[in-house]
Amino acid sequence: MSIETSLKYHFEQDREYISRKLWIGNDQITLLGLRTMVNFPLSLTMVREQLHTVDDNNSIQDRLSGLGHNISKFPLEEYISEILNGMLIAIHDPSGTSICIIPVGQPINRSIREPLTENVVRGSSSAFNEDIELNIGLLRKHINSSDLQIATYRFGEVSKNCVVLSYLNRKIDPSLLRSIIDAIESSLNKEISNMQQLSRMFGFSDYTLVTRYNTTELPQSAAQALKNGRAVIFIERLPFALVLPSIVSDLFEITDDSNHPPIFAMMLSFIRIVGALVTLIIPGLYVALVSVNPDVLRFELAHSIARSRVDVPYPAIVETLLLLFILELIMEAIIRLPPSIGPTLTMVGGIVLGQAVVEAKLVSSLLIIVLAATTISNATVVGYQNSLTIRMFKYVLLILSAVFGVLGLLFGIVIICSYLAGVKSFGIPYLQLKYPEGE
């Protein structure tokens, strides 16, 4: 059975599959591909023009071979994989020569746009998208150096998803690079299409509370990470880069800060550190001082807090958890809703609901202030995944504070610091402030 017949049989249920005949003199060429990924009219014109512009003294097989790479001796699975990747297969019918050609593709990728999840005050506004080749091009625009290494890997036995590893030879620590490459090469038969699968490939625990990598939409952030000795990974069809490994300074430092005077950059980092501490400590401190240790407060302040909670029917921990749960629902809903509806939900949740629960004496007015400050402070943490980590630790301190008071809060902080001190990514401690660079 010929390759053309085998492919026709394989794609017989697929309406996208298309076959076109092209005559060059007395030679017939069959072009095969998917109509949803290949612009056939323009691709036929391109092939015809390129074959006619080549020296006519050469045989049609030689002229055809100049358009792509020869796959005549490859198995059927390779033909199928190339077609599914959007390639055009040209078969010279008399000789059976098969050439894989890069066609004129259908416009199925987004153009370069501004980032959707990261705001830039001073710096480039271009962002990565789902096209992995475009993402690599954007990265090379920011690092014009032969030291930039790009390694491409194909994962899986069915979909053959593409994953790209990039690094700077002279910056990255050799042991870090070796660990990453070993993990990748030992998992090439696995499906890698999302970050959970990538985490398992690198051996990260599913139950870790600290993210071992950072994500960024910004090419300049990825480029700066490479210059700092880190590795950057792209996964096909994901519109961001993964930076390995992550450390604690990623919570409060961003590349955009380098475009400000040093004193302002330090001030912004300090604000983010304070924001993270407020998010962690304030809810637990409120519960500890109201429920367990009110005696440490001045009489006037304790009396004011007691008056604000006079009609609240349950303990401080219950009202705090209730309102925190409502805030978590609002924050998740704002992320999921279209941008045109999000502001409406913010107004309803933040103003109407907040006013209603205070007037109904379900929570105290002071708690509204505390949790509003906590929610705002959480937004100062760099990176959505890092903010999730802070939010998780916040509940640990809240529970300990409700049981043991201020002592429980301090004990919880010690536990969190001890946990972070033991976290490592590829042998690099999470609390390390600077990456080891290669020589």
Dump pLDDT digits (tens) for 25-65.
Answer: 777 888 898 888 888 888 888 888 777 765 566 677 777 77
Query: Do 303 and 295 contact (CB within 8 A), yes or no?
Result: no
Please identify which residue in the block is written with the tokens 């998917």.
34
In order of 52, 69, 117, 200, the CA distances from 49 in angstroms are: 5, 18, 44, 49
- Assess whether 209 and 342 both reside in one domain: no
Residue from 212, 267, 217 nearest 241 by CA = 217
- Assess whether 217 and 275 both reside in one domain: no
Residue from 170, 250, 275 nearest 433 by CA = 250
pTM: 0.79
The 10s digit of each residue's pLDDT in 69-85 is: 888 788 888 888 888 88
- Assess whether 321 and 369 both reside in one domain: yes
* Residue 86 domain flag: yes
Of 45, 79, 101, the last residue of a domain is 101
In order of 102, 268, 304, the CA distances from 275 in angstroms are: 50, 10, 26
- Assess whether 261 and 406 both reside in one domain: yes
How many Cβ atoms from other residues are within 10 Å of residue 407's Cβ? 14
**Residue scoring higher pLDDT (65 or 256):** 256
436 pLDDT above the threshold of 60: no
355 pLDDT above the threshold of 80: no
- Assess whether 261 and 362 both reside in one domain: yes
Q: Residues 108, 110, 111, 116: what is their CA dihedral angle, to the nearest 10 degrees? A: 180
Residue from 79, 76, 57 nearest 68 by CA = 79
Query: Do 159 and 189 contact (CB within 8 A), yes or no?
Result: no
CA–CA separation, 218 vs 125, rounded Å? 8
* Residue 110 domain flag: no
- Assess whether 348 and 204 both reside in one domain: no
Structural domains of the chain, count:
3
- Assess whether 215 and 304 both reside in one domain: no
Element (H, E) at 164: strand 161-168
Pairing of strands 17-24, 27-34: antiparallel
CA–CA separation, 142 vs 305, rounded Å? 54
Beta bridge partners, 99, equal 70, 90
In order of 62, 79, 100, 381, the CA distances from 65 in angstroms are: 5, 16, 9, 54
* Residue 434 domain flag: no
Q: Return the pLDDT at 79.
A: 86
Pairing of strands 424-425, 88-92: unpaired
The 10s digit of each residue's pLDDT in 191-245 is: 888 888 888 898 888 888 898 899 999 999 999 999 999 999 999 888 999 999 8
The gap between the terminal CA atoms of the chain, to the nearest Å, is 56
Q: Return the pLDDT at 55.
A: 57
Amino acid making up residue 158: V
Tell me the pLDDT of the chain averaged across its residues. Answer: 85
In this structure, what token pair is assigned to residue 148? 């930039």
- Assess whether 64 and 210 both reside in one domain: no
- Assess whether 182 and 235 both reside in one domain: yes
Query: Do 402 and 291 contact (CB within 8 A), yes or no?
Result: yes
Amino acid making up residue 26: N
Q: Count Cα atoms within 13 angstroms, Cβ side, for 408.
A: 22
The 10s digit of each residue's pLDDT in 136-188 is: 999 998 898 888 999 999 887 766 788 999 999 989 989 999 999 999 998 88
Cα 396 → chain centroid: 26
* Residue 263 domain flag: yes
CA–CA separation, 51 vs 66, rounded Å? 9
- Assess whether 224 and 372 both reside in one domain: no
* Residue 251 domain flag: no
* Residue 153 domain flag: yes
Residue from 94, 127, 103 nearest 113 by CA = 127
Q: Return the pLDDT at 279.
A: 94
- Assess whether 329 and 405 both reside in one domain: yes
Confidence of residue 118 (pLDDT cuts 50, 70, 90): confident
In this structure, what token pair is assigned to residue 268? 């912004």
Please identify which residue in the block is written with the tokens 């960024």.
216
Element (H, E) at 243: strand 241-244
Q: Return the pLDDT at 158.
A: 67
CA–CA separation, 264 vs 323, rounded Å? 35
Q: Return the pLDDT at 237.
A: 85
- Assess whether 226 and 265 both reside in one domain: no
Q: What is the CA radius of gyration of the chain?
A: 29
The 10s digit of each residue's pLDDT in 287-306 is: 999 988 888 888 888 888 88
Largest CA-CA distance found in the chain, in angstroms, rounded: 102
439 pLDDT above the threshold of 50: no
CB-based contacts of 42: which residues, under 8 Å, 6+ apart?
104
* Residue 125 domain flag: no
Q: Which domain holds residue 61?
A: 3-101
Residue from 388, 364, 368 nearest 378 by CA = 388
Cis peptide before 245 (omega within 30 of 0): yes
Q: Return the pLDDT at 285.
A: 94
Question: What is the DSSP track for 326-391?
Answer: HHHHHHHHHHHS-TTTHHHHHHIIIIIIHHHHHHTTSS-HHHHHHHHHHHHHHTTSSSHHHHHHHH
Query: Do 37 and 106 contact (CB within 8 A), yes or no?
Result: yes
